[in-house]
Amino acid sequence: MNKTIVIGCDHAALDLKLKVKAHVESKGYTVIDVGTHTNDSCNYPDYAHAACEKIRGGEAVLGILICGTGIGMSMAANKHRGIRAAVCSDTFSARMTRMHNDANVLCFGARVVGEGLALDLVDAYLDTEYLGERHQKRVDMLTAIEDNEAAR
């Protein structure tokens, strides 16, 4: 099983990302950190793109993207084919988006959640398996939207 997680952030979330990175590593995962690596102002789509490329290329199985709100990261990630990114600020949603939506990217906001909740979100997300079965048809419908958009 691929136990590699890609993580990324913008300048609003560097401190929290480093805590999340250490936490994910402590759970036995290998982490690819696509940046940012400084507090200098930067643009979240660059880091969402870098992380999604790792997932699309098979180097990472899941991703975690953090910006100020998580919203910009999720918007940018969801522009990528095959990426299902969910911005969550409660553990129920973080768990359910793995279970039902097969979300392959978890996003949250460093200006929205504190460290404790962030690590709980990560646990809820990473410790949950996709159920498949009846949910696969719906995930396939998401892929069909991508196919239709690509053909327009």
Question: Which residues would be at the binding site for ligand RB5 (CB under 6 A)?
Answer: 10, 12, 44, 67-69, 71-72
CA atoms within 13 A of residue 104's CA, in its CB half-sphere: 22
Q: Strand ranges (DSSP E) for 14-98?
A: 30-33, 62-67, 85-87
Q: Which residues pair with 85 in a beta bridge?
A: 105
Nearer CB in complex with ligand RB5: 71/99: 71
Residue 101 CB, shortest distance to ligand RB5, in Å, is 20
Nearer CB in complex with ligand RB5: 12/60: 12
Residue 75 CB, shortest distance to ligand RB5, in Å, is 7
Residue 74 CB, shortest distance to ligand RB5, in Å, is 8
Instruction: Determine contact, residues 37/63, Cβ cutoff 8 Å.
Output: no
- Tell whether the torsion through CA atoms of 95, 101, 104 and 107 is positive or negative: negative
Nearer CB in complex with ligand RB5: 66/96: 66
Helix, strand or coil, per DSSP, at residue 66: strand
Residue nearest to ligand RB5 (CB): 72
Catalytic residues: 67, 100
